[in-house]
Amino acid sequence: MEQFDPFLMLDEFGSDKPDDYIAGFPPHPHRGFETVTYMLEGRMRHEDHMGNVGLLQGGGVQWMTAARGIIHSEMPEQEEGTMRGFQLWLNLPGKNKLSDASYQDIQPENVPSVSTQAGVQVVVLAGHFDDGQVRQAGAVQRPDTEPLYFDFDMPAGSCISPHVPEGHLVLLYVYEGSVELEGSTQPIGKRQMARLSDSGEVQISSAAGARLLLIAGKPLREPIVQYGPFVMNTKEEIEQAIRDFREDRLTA
C-alpha cells in the first residue's frame, strides 16, 4: 500500500510453510511512527530495548509507538502451522516524533467484538464502532490521528454501515470473499483495497460473504520523509535518525 495520510503501510503476511517465517525479524530500529500488528493465526514473541516481552497470538494486537526510537525483535513462537496477520504503519505528528516510545500487548480476550443486527461480526481494534444500532469502544484509543481499525466478518447477504468521523480518510482491504459499495458497480475482491475520501456513513454489502478490514484516520497533512524504518518530516531529521542509530543514541 502506498502512503495514504495518516497511514504509511499495510502489510498482509501469511504462510503455512515454516521456511517462510521461521527466521522472524531479529533486532531492528524504528523512529517517528507507530506499528500495529494484528494476528489472525500463529504466535510471535516481541522483545525490545525497554525490557518489554510480549506474546502476540491469534486475535491479539500489538500497538507499538516508536516515537523517538525503539529497537525490537519479533520472532515466531512456533515451528509449524500457519502464521497470518497484518501490520499497519501509522504516522505520528511532528510534535510527537521525538517523544518517549511505548508498547501495548493486547491479548485476544481483551480485544472487544460485537455482532450487528445484520449478523456481521466486528472486531473493534481501535477507535469506536457505531452503526446507529450497536456501539463499541475499541481496545486502543489514540489522539491526533484518531484511528478506527475494524475487522468485519460478513455472512452472505449481509450489509454494514459504520459511521466514520468527518474528515477521516478510509481504507477497505478485503482478505476473503468480496464486497460491494453503495454507488459502485465494481466489487472489491480478495486482496483488493479501496481508498475512500468521503466521511460519514460507509455502506458495505456482501452477496457471497467476506472478511475485510476497515481502517480510517484523521490526516496529519504534514511532510513525510521516509528512509527505511525512519519516518520524519524533513531530510535533516532523517539524517539525524541515521546518525543516532549508528552512534547508539536512537533510544537515548
Residue 135 has which C-alpha cell? Answer: 456501539
Q: Are 128 and 138 within 8 A, CB to CB?
A: yes
Distances, alpha carbon 139 to alpha carbons 30, 92, 155, in Å: 23, 19, 24
Residue 59 has which C-alpha cell? Answer: 486475535
Give me the amino acid identity at 83.
M
Q: Are 35 and 86 within 8 A, CB to CB?
A: no
- Distance, in Å, from the CA atom of 7 to the CA atom of 5, rounded to the nearest integer, reads 5
Q: Are 170 and 164 within 8 A, CB to CB?
A: yes
- Distance, in Å, from the CA atom of 88 to the CA atom of 24, rounded to the nearest integer, reads 17
49 is in an annotated binding site: no
28 is in an annotated binding site: yes
74 is in an annotated binding site: yes
72 is in an annotated binding site: yes
At residue 36, the 3 state secondary structure works out as strand
Residue 175: partners with Cβ closer than 8 Å, 6 or more residues away: 12, 190, 191, 211, 212, 213
Tell me phi and psi for residue 121, to 5 degrees.
-85, 130
Residue 31 has which C-alpha cell? Answer: 523512529
H-helix or E-strand spanning residue 236: helix 235-246
Indicate the annotated binding residues for Fe cation.
28, 30, 72, 74
Indicate the annotated binding residues.
28, 30, 72, 74
